[in-house]
Structure 1
Amino acid sequence: MSHRGLLKMLAGFGLMAYEISCVERGLTLMNRDLPPRFMYAKQWQHLTMFILLTLNGCIDIMSKNLLPQRCVPLEKGVLVLTFYVLLLLLVSHVQDSAGVEMHVHSLLILVVLLLMLVFTAKLWAPDTFQLAVIETFLFQMMGSWLVQAGFILYKPVSGFPWEDDNISDIMFVTTFFCWHVMINALCLLGIYGVSSFWHRCYHPSWKLTGSREAPCYIYSRRPLYQLLQEVEQSEKDDQALLSKSSP
């Protein structure tokens, strides 16, 4: 079972239900005035983002559990397309924002833009270790900054709303973002350090298992010159056998 896809679907459905319930008179698209006008622009953009998350989870489950063979390019392609659409929505989302809200969303747009570039690069270099590390770090940044943005915009820790005309508040938004960068980098480094220490101390037996996407190669720890000598010796033995068998 694709647990990642299932979590995406559950989170998407839950967020969609919450967004719809937040509107008292219902999430209508247009009013009944003449001429009619679109209503709840930001709420509809939030709903579109949550629909994208749900569809992404559906694709993961379909690729891993419903298709006869898992299609990894399909999953990655849909993920890249999701972030392209998400970036467009976020750029439009800040049109009527100002002050602290504008700055918070601008920093989020920066993270989403970098993630989009990393995902696009991974379409041509899927097995690059550096891109995988950057992707993990940017996902950590996106998640932690979304939590921080919720506290800044809707429930400040001090109990008082942030002031848009106060330059100190806007400067501290950037400071908090830099703190998130450092904390997430330290968390990633700590996880890598603990994993590396455990692997070197306990030497777990990693068994090479084949996958449906790529063949499995066996790695030899012997030097290359020894392998070449063995190959040459085997060729000489073969030639000696052929010379003996020939009349």
Structure 2
Amino acid sequence: MSPRSLVKLGGLVDTPGQPLRKPDMIEKLDLLSPTAIPNDLTVAQAQAPHGSPSGALLLMLTSRKPSHSTSYVNIKFVNSRNLRYRSKEKMDLIQSMLELEFLKVGDLVLGLDVYPRFALNTKHGEHGWVYLWLELDSDGSRVVYVGKAGGTLARRCMQHASGFAGGSPTGIKHAANISNGIKAGKRYEIWARKAGVISLFGEADISMCEVEERALIQKFRPIWNKEQHVTNMRR
């Protein structure tokens, strides 16, 4: 499809506002956007000719203008045994987070004072959260940081912002990583979920945010979390 069509397709969302997932039939296929495909062409038929390489797809594109002849574009999809499907990896990660009941709650952006700031799209007054910082670029997406908020999510973000501005050595390192990443064309999203609660020692509503944070660090192996934290969990 044309680049414009791919961008439009990637912006489709469902009723809750989450990105639409690929149908199972084409889940393992990369969506390519050769610039040779004009925006005024539509896909009429897809077929693989006899003798074509494995994974190759022939798209017959018919112009909306009758005077134009039929055009053919041979698109070879990446072999999953040699290279990873980057778009599929991104969708797999998003799907995994949705299954864990995470929702996107905002973005990390550069402020006017050059320090990163939190652009939250909603306020959460409840206490007890776990959250992820998701890094996205042309190579795919990855969880780079996992954290917990014993209080409100907004208050925890304010603490991070203070660290970015020189309040802590770790905060300064995070600020540098985020700033350098954004300048290199990367994006950073904030995803969060309300941590579960349990009753323990006769006390009700004990937040599981610390336990969930540890489990998520072990699951996603975020590169910005302290390595010692991961090592201590395994002892």
Q: Which has the larger radius of gyration?
A: 1
| TM-score clears 0.5 | no
Please give the range of the TM-score, normalised by the shorter of the 2 chains: under 0.3
TM-score in terms of structure 1 length: 0.25
Normalized per residue, which structure has more strand? 2
Normalized per residue, which structure has more helix? 1
